[in-house]
Amino acid sequence: MSSGLLRSFNKISDLVVAVARKRVQDIVNNHGFMPLNKSFVSADDVAKRAGVSRSAVSRTFTPGASVSEETRQRVMEAAQALGYHVNQLARGLMRSESGIVCLVVSEMDTPYRARLVRALTHELQTAGKIAMLINTDRSDGSVDAALRQTLHYRADASILLSGLPDKAITRLCLNSGQRIVLINRDDDIDGPFRINLDDGQAARVAVSAFLRAGCRRLAFANSDVGTPSLMARERGFIAAAAEFGLEVRIVRHGNTIYESGRKIAQTLFTGAVRPDAVFCVNDLMAFGLMDGARHDFGLHIPEDLCIVGFDDIEQSSWTSYNLTTFSQPVDEIVKSSVAWLQGDATAGLVRSANLHAPLIWRKTIRNKL
Amino acid sequence: MSSGLLRSFNKISDLVVAVARKRVQDIVNNHGFMPLNKSFVSADDVAKRAGVSRSAVSRTFTPGASVSEETRQRVMEAAQALGYHVNQLARGLMRSESGIVCLVVSEMDTPYRARLVRALTHELQTAGKIAMLINTDRSDGSVDAALRQTLHYRADASILLSGLPDKAITRLCLNSGQRIVLINRDDDIDGPFRINLDDGQAARVAVSAFLRAGCRRLAFANSDVGTPSLMARERGFIAAAAEFGLEVRIVRHGNTIYESGRKIAQTLFTGAVRPDAVFCVNDLMAFGLMDGARHDFGLHIPEDLCIVGFDDIEQSSWTSYNLTTFSQPVDEIVKSSVAWLQGDATAGLVRSANLHAPLIWRKTIRNKL
DNA sequence: CACTTTTTTGCAAGCGTGTGCAAAAGTTTC
DNA sequence: GAAACTTTTGCACACGCTTGCAAAAAAGTG
């Protein structure tokens, strides 16, 4: 086609858009209905209708700005009638804040992560922020892309849930002026807010619970993912057991999921000496271990075998498991994360929080021998 | 050597640029890696460094724009060196597309929803979009706020997962020119892309499986949430049973969760005539029902009682349950949703998709009497 | 009322990008 | 080498908003 034709076509389409917009306005003015049109209502439209300047509209929607009560009313009324919404993209362009917080998470359909993500999005929403969800499953390439997105959208902050995002990511986000929260990720980079659980204390509690139950042959079921928090639990358990002169049999396998627990049951209970107490690094693995122990080896829990897990996910309270486990203080994690994000940047920011994971007693550790 | 000199010059110029920008306080925290500055590198900076106009930079990052290979190279190099990222907020302001897709979901820590959310975010990411997660738990107020956010950020589309977002929401999003996908939400509003499962067919398969197992006293366990898809399963099951002259005992209770299944077990098995087959509207309820039947009533599954669920969540394959259930075709749901979002707007858009949920045979329906 | 102080308001300059337009540069054809 | 095309490039405006600044209006003071 010729460029002349193209040009006139463009002009015509502009004109059409303009006309469409005008018509919408007329309709709005006449009936006060929502525009059934792709183009959004802008502050200009509201200003025109309210008979004030665009600044006045902007100030009306900016908390703490100087507007008289009268004009505010007029603006609000016009905005209501037109169905005006502040365009956060444009606002984020001017202000330093976009209002966007990225949640970087892998395997987010895991019960614990899902619960955390839900709680975080909820808390962020009530704090006036919005959550962007970025998946870091699969290859390193996807992790890279995830970070790129974080920067593309000028996120105010990123919250990294447990998992293993590359260290370079953390660095890059920090350099872009984002605030970063690391949850259960014992990174030693300076700058992020780090939330961790007192895994060592939990391990001590577990050991003493097992001892009180009369157990002596301790085992620890772990994945070989090697996440810092998982390893901290393992080390803590070994150390606590050592204080009582007990050794711990350690088995690691695969990912931190049900099937791995199942597999570890095979390993643990096939040998000559069976452990009588197992600390599972995670509830999912505990379930697998329990099913393996019961189904494949006919063991009774807690009579033959005591088990403790970690996370206290929903399934732990299901009758088939009734797992005694350490509870992740999800509410505290979420509250403190978001509070920190909201905190004044100029003030000295707290660097980390160490939270307590209380033991929830159910039926997988007997009280006495 | 000379390249080393050049490099250090570059660093200095970076620093100068950084200082010229307004945030000075951040530089205090700079530990010498990159300028730890809140303001990002802009296309102008890149243009200046590459010795081209800003348009050239913009065109370099716009697929299909007219740039010579040489300038593209120059620009890319400069961009790389400066750590430039296109600002999607600004881009979204100009183009009609923001690249943002909102996932509106309630109770997203439910296994099925969590899986769907994970799969969706993943698929959206590979399609170059980004997922915003909006929680619609709690009061109607929060639903309202969720919608507001959707509009604030000029999302290209919203995907409503099953649940009960208010009808007014759907309407409002549509009016703002968003594309909308409704998953398992049998809404009759015109405009959105509706993905539903063939619940009726699944119900027929369930009935015939129960009949083949020799069951005659059928029951249906539902929540009283009343989601369209849940009700469709119920109606389908009743209808299919009626074809064989069988009546169905229906029990509804609470939310669509484990505890409700547990409760329904109490109701179903306390009476004089116990059902010998139960279609649970959802796997979670099936687990509750199974635990109740086994633990409180000593029933054996599938000998005394056949059960079928819906969703095929992870837990269904756990040994303690081994639930025969209908599988949600999550992959298909996700692929078709995102494909539809990507589709050409001018072309006639498909209105709906009806997907098949295959029955996954495990151990809760016996093969023969 | 005149003067000072405070509040409100509109103007206009951005924020970082995309893109139509026309000029410039490059390519082909005769 | 000139003419006729095609490709590349820079200018300038637009997107929808915030905000500093100074003028205007309102409020306080004697």
Distance, CA of A59 to C1' of D30, in Å: 35
Do A328 and A197 contact (CB within 8 A), yes or no?
Answer: yes
- For residue range A206-262, what is the model confidence (pLDDT) as tens digits? 999 999 999 999 999 999 998 888 999 999 999 999 999 999 999 999 999 999 999
Q: Using a CB–CB cutoff of 8 Å, tell me whether B122 touches chain A.
A: yes
Residue A221 CB-half CA count within 13 A: 37
Q: Which residues of B touch A117 (CB under 8 A)?
A: 108-109, 114, 133
Do A265 and A235 contact (CB within 8 A), yes or no?
Answer: no
The two tokens of residue B141 are 């107020």
pLDDT at residue B171, rounded to an integer: 76
Pick the closest to residue A219 from A197, A198, A234 (CA basis): A234
Do A81 and A49 contact (CB within 8 A), yes or no?
Answer: yes
| Protein-contacted bases of chain D (C-beta within 7 A) | 7-12, 14-20
Decide if pLDDT at A25 tops 60: no
- What are the φ and ψ backbone dihedral angles of A299, each rounded to 5 degrees? -80, 150
pLDDT at residue B141, rounded to an integer: 62
Search chain A and give the residue with CA nearest B98.
Answer: A89
Strands B130-135 and A277-280, sheet pairing: unpaired
- For residue range A114-128, what is the model confidence (pLDDT) as tens digits? 999 999 999 998 898
Pick the closest to residue B128 from B157, B170, B94 (CA basis): B157
Across the interface, whether the CB atoms of B132 and A131 are under 8 A apart is answered yes
Task: Please say whether the dihedral angle defined by the alpha carbons of residues B299, B253, A284 and A329, taken in this order, is positive or negative.
Answer: negative
pLDDT at residue B147, rounded to an integer: 72
Mean pLDDT to the nearest integer, A163-190: 77
Q: How far is B155 from A204, CA to CA, in rounded Å?
A: 49
pLDDT at residue B18, rounded to an integer: 33
CB pairs under 8 A between A and B: 183
Do B61 and B50 contact (CB within 8 A), yes or no?
Answer: no
Q: How far is B350 from B253, CA to CA, in rounded Å?
A: 36
Across the interface, whether the CB atoms of B93 and A90 are under 8 A apart is answered yes
Q: How far is B180 from B160, CA to CA, in rounded Å?
A: 7
Q: Using a CB–CB cutoff of 8 Å, tell me whether B318 touches chain A.
A: yes
pLDDT at residue A164, rounded to an integer: 59
Which residues of chain B form beta strands (DSSP E)? 100-105, 130-135, 157-160, 179-183, 193-197, 218-222, 248-252, 277-280, 306-311, 325-327, 352-355, 359-360
- For residue range B230-249, what is the model confidence (pLDDT) as tens digits? 999 999 999 999 999 999 99
Distance, CA of B308 to C1' of C10, in Å: 69
CA distances to A130, B8, B364 from A121, rounded to whole Å, are 7, 43, 37
Distance from CA of B241 to the nearest CA of A (A): 31
Decide if pLDDT at A290 tops 50: yes
CA distances to A342, B71, B82, B287 from B50, rounded to whole Å, are 38, 8, 11, 63
Q: How far is B332 from B357, CA to CA, in rounded Å?
A: 10
- For residue range B276-327, what is the model confidence (pLDDT) as tens digits? 999 999 999 999 999 999 999 999 999 999 999 999 999 999 999 999 999 9
pLDDT at residue A120, rounded to an integer: 97
Q: How far is B52 from B249, CA to CA, in rounded Å?
A: 76
pLDDT at residue B136, rounded to an integer: 86
Across the interface, whether the CB atoms of B117 and A107 are under 8 A apart is answered no
Other Cβ atoms within 10 Å of B331 Cβ, number: 10
What stretches in chain B show pLDDT beneath 70?
Answer: 1-39, 138-145, 162-166, 187, 344-349, 368-369
pLDDT band at A146 (very low <50, low <70, confident <90, very high): confident
Strand order in the sheet with B100-105: A352-355, A193-197, A179-183, A157-160, A100-105, A130-135, B130-135, B100-105, B157-160, B179-183, B193-197, B352-355
Determine the 3-state secondary structure of A130 from DSSP: strand
Q: Which residues of B touch A292 (CB under 8 A)?
A: 319
Provide the residue type at A300 as one letter: H
Q: Which residues of A touch B118 (CB under 8 A)?
A: 107-109, 135, 137
Provide the residue type at A82 as one letter: L
Across the interface, whether the CB atoms of B152 and A88 are under 8 A apart is answered yes
| Protein-contacted bases of chain C (C-beta within 7 A) | 7-12, 14-22
DSSP B250: E
**Residues contacting A328, CB < 8 A, separation 6+:** A112, A116, A197, A310, A311, A312, A357
**Tokens 């597999």 correspond to what residue?**
A263
Do B36 and B15 contact (CB within 8 A), yes or no?
Answer: no
Span of A23-32, A146-155, B250-259 with lowest mean pLDDT: A23-32
Cα torsion for A328, A334, A340, A341, to the nearest 10°?
A: 140
Residue A103 CB-half CA count within 13 A: 31
